[in-house]
Structure 1
């Protein structure tokens, strides 16, 4: 029996494009029957390892490109009927605590509520989430036991896992966020969701032919 197809979404809460892309994933899962694995990575670590920089930095001072980037974002919002998105006025936000918290939440079985709360407070009701007091109050308002998770996030296995996720992503070809893997095939950017879905369908079909 063939192993199930592995599809991955590598994310950092600091990436607005990862937030927007993730909102489209449930429809892809419904159409294909495949579930994405959510892999927390530290985008700052990815940038450092690859010599990359955030779009905010790379677009600064370039005529017309930031405006086009904003236009593409508006088109994406319309295409996927996304109504809950606000640019974070405190951007860029240091996401180390947020991403360690995501790993801790995975380890402790509370990833889904943590993930939704983190994105709410970053890109729906945006806050300065690298301020420890703001961070704590935000997650408390979402009903999470954030003090326990914050303590868990300081443990070595959590820190090690986030480092491993990040270094493994770079080793496999990642240089930014959002990054998707369908098996060993890599796709970068929210504008590649159609190609991601097509690759899922192609690999599923190939797997069925092998077992037929």
Structure 2
């Protein structure tokens, strides 16, 4: 019997590139038959642990590179026919509430609707989601029992799980978002999705041969 291949998507709602990459994952799942595990991490914690900078900071003051970065993003959006992405005018947004909410939603079996609502209010109908009132109103608008999740997110097991996810990601080689793991192989960035898919296919075939 072949053991299921573990494939992970490490995300923070504050990363527009993670949002864009995630829009492509259902197509990879359909073609390969895998299901991605969605792993919430705190990107600020990853940056701090690795002494990394956000793209906004690292590109500041560099001639031509920010413009090319924007061009590459437009190409990705066009290639994958993503029509409802909008730059968040409040970016960067502190995502601690959002990411604790994601862990709480996983614990409470509410992850899928919470995840979709969070991405909608960050990158489709963008709002200042680090404002507690805006945060609450947005999720209520999406039909989420957000008061339940806000309360759950304050509990120690949720806080510790987010910290553990973040620390584990760094320990395994992560330095930003989106990061993907196919078994033990790590890939960073939305532009590596073709390689992610090829690695899934390769590891699946290898496992079948062994079996």
CA positional deviation for 1:3: 1.7
Q: Distance in 2 between matches of 1:50 and 1:64?
A: 26
CA distance, structure 1, for counterparts of residue 60 and residue 34 of structure 2: 38
Q: Please show how residues 88-127 of structure 1 align to structure 2 within 5 Å.
A: 88-127=88-127
Q: Deviations over 1:53-102 (max 9, x none)?
A: 11011011110000000000000001100001011010000000000000
Q: Per-residue displacement from partner, 1:123-145 (whole Å, max 9, x unpaired)?
A: 00000000000000000000001
Residue-by-residue CA offset, 1:22-52 (whole Å, 9 max, x unaligned): 0000000000000000000000000000000
Give the aligned CA root-mean-square deviation in angstroms.
Answer: 0.4
Could you tell me the TM-score, scaled by structure 2's length?
0.99
CA drift of 1:2 comes to 3.0
Structure-1 separation of matches of 2:84 and 2:48: 31
The alignment's TM-score, normalised by the length of structure 1, stands at 0.99
* Match status 1:33 vs 2:39: no
- State the 1:149 CA deviation: 0.4
- Corresponding position of 1:167: 167
**Structure 1 unaligned spans of 5+:** none
- Whole-Å Cα distance in 2 between the matches of residues 204 and 3 of structure 1? 10
Distance 2:105 2:151 in 1: 11
Secondary structure (helix, strand or coil) at the match of 1:187 reads strand
Q: How many residues align?
A: 211
